[in-house]
A = this chain, B = another copy of it.
Amino acid sequence: MTEKDTVRFGILGCATIARKLARAITLTPNATISAIGSRSISKAAKFAVENSLPASVRIYGSYDEVVEDSGVDAVYIPLPTSLHVRWAVAAANKKKHVLVEKPAALDVAELDLILEACEANGVQFMDGCMWLHHPRTSNMKHLLDLSNSDGIGPVQFIHSTSTMPTTQEFLENNIRVKPELDALGALGDLAWYCIGASLWAKGYKLPTTVTALPDVTRNMAGVILSITTSLQWDQPNQTVANIHCSFHSHTSMDLSISGSNGSMHLKDFIIPYKETSASFDFTFGAKFVDLHIGWNVRPEEVHVVNKLPQEALMVQEFAMLVASIRDSGSQPSIKWPEISRKTQLVVDAVKKSLELGCKPVSL
């Protein structure tokens, strides 16, 4: 990797997730950290020390200075969701490519402002959904391919959860449940993954209807702490996805996908149990044996090894697209903005269904 191929990142803010991404950028051959900005320069300096960033990294006491830095190709934005539109648009307008944490925006209107700014400035957009970049995901995708006669066949049912136990302190004061910072709460922070996984399993076809279930819980400020929702596709075959996300429940990241001929299950789809390998269960052509006293097959555990962690693979993919635009005049990939926008449309529909007293919302 020559310096020419390397994409120079500026990081906006010192959120916990920024530590993970700083490490990922460092691990990625075609990416480097050039600048870190915080509202306080001492916080930025502390972040640089704590994360062993090289002395060459420029330390700023504002986000503006990162966005203005001509030695920065791309920004990573781990700021609270309410700040995404302001800083993603500002970055795009300064020709910086934009990697933004999920949820991409508070709603599709805000996301469209970001995507329009990125398009107008010819810069790449991607949201920080890491699991899509794990080789396990491609492996599973192969089993969803309808032309694969060993695959699961047309998808009929999807089950996905993202839950984590939290404290009373978290439920009242964490950024992720503050109405002025992350007004979507669990719907943005957690359901983004499950909705995204359901869309992924359906080849990014939007559902016909989205229904929120009445078991939603909120904190005193009205921010969603737990939510259950069901997505339904009518064509080309009927599919239903049931999603449950919660800050009340034990850690879970389940994804089960059933087709006509087989099914896939994994319990760690968002963050794999281990960093360097992952697995999923696959069952094909299961039938009961005679007298229904057992099954003819048990699930097979499919193992996948990954040299780089999934967050580094995400940075690598993003940096490759950025380098290609910067160095070869390529157009930004529309794949990633489209994935984010469809996910955001479904998030909006869940919110609308809640507002309508859990009535089904058509898309």
Residue ranges of A at the interface with B (Cβ–Cβ < 8 Å): 16-17, 19-20, 23, 152-153, 156-157, 159, 161, 163, 165, 209, 211, 213-215, 217, 226, 228, 230, 232, 238, 240, 242, 244, 246, 248-252, 254, 256, 258-263, 265, 267-268, 271-275, 281, 283, 286-288, 291-295, 298-299, 309, 311, 358, 360
Say whether B249 contacts A259, CB under 8 Å: yes
With contacts A20-B292, A293-B275, A294-B273 taken as known, whether A215 is within 8 angstroms of B230 at the C-beta atoms is: yes
Say whether B157 contacts A246, CB under 8 Å: yes
Say whether B250 contacts A259, CB under 8 Å: yes
Closest CB in chain B relative to A282 CB, distance in Å: 11
Residue of B nearest to A276 (CB): B294
* Complex Cα–Cα for A136 and B16 (A): 41
Say whether A267 contacts B281, CB under 8 Å: yes
Q: Which of the residues B23, B214, B238, B298 comes within 8 Å of A360, measured between beta carbons?
A: B214
Task: Please name all residues of chain B whose beta carbon is closer than 8 Å to the beta carbon of A23 when the two chains form the complex.
Answer: 291, 293
Task: Please name all residues of chain B whose beta carbon is closer than 8 Å to the beta carbon of A242 when the two chains form the complex.
Answer: 159, 228, 230, 242, 244
Task: Please name all residues of chain B whose beta carbon is closer than 8 Å to the beta carbon of A262 when the two chains form the complex.
Answer: 250
Say whether A273 contacts B295, CB under 8 Å: yes
Task: Please name all residues of chain B whose beta carbon is closer than 8 Å to the beta carbon of A275 when the two chains form the complex.
Answer: 293-294
Say whether B250 contacts A286, CB under 8 Å: yes
* Complex Cα–Cα for A244 and B232 (A): 12
Say whether B250 contacts A261, CB under 8 Å: yes
Closest CB in chain B relative to A241 CB, distance in Å: 10
Task: Please name all residues of chain B whose beta carbon is closer than 8 Å to the beta carbon of A258 when the two chains form the complex.
Answer: 161, 163, 249-250, 252
Residue of B nearest to A262 (CB): B250
Q: Which of the residues B17, B244, B268, B271 comes within 8 Å of A157, measured between beta carbons?
A: B244
Task: Please name all residues of chain B whose beta carbon is closer than 8 Å to the beta carbon of A298 when the two chains form the complex.
Answer: 273
* Complex Cα–Cα for A272 and B20 (A): 41
* Complex Cα–Cα for A295 and B254 (A): 14
Closest 5 CB pairs of A and B: A156-B249, A251-B286, A242-B242, A215-B240, A215-B232
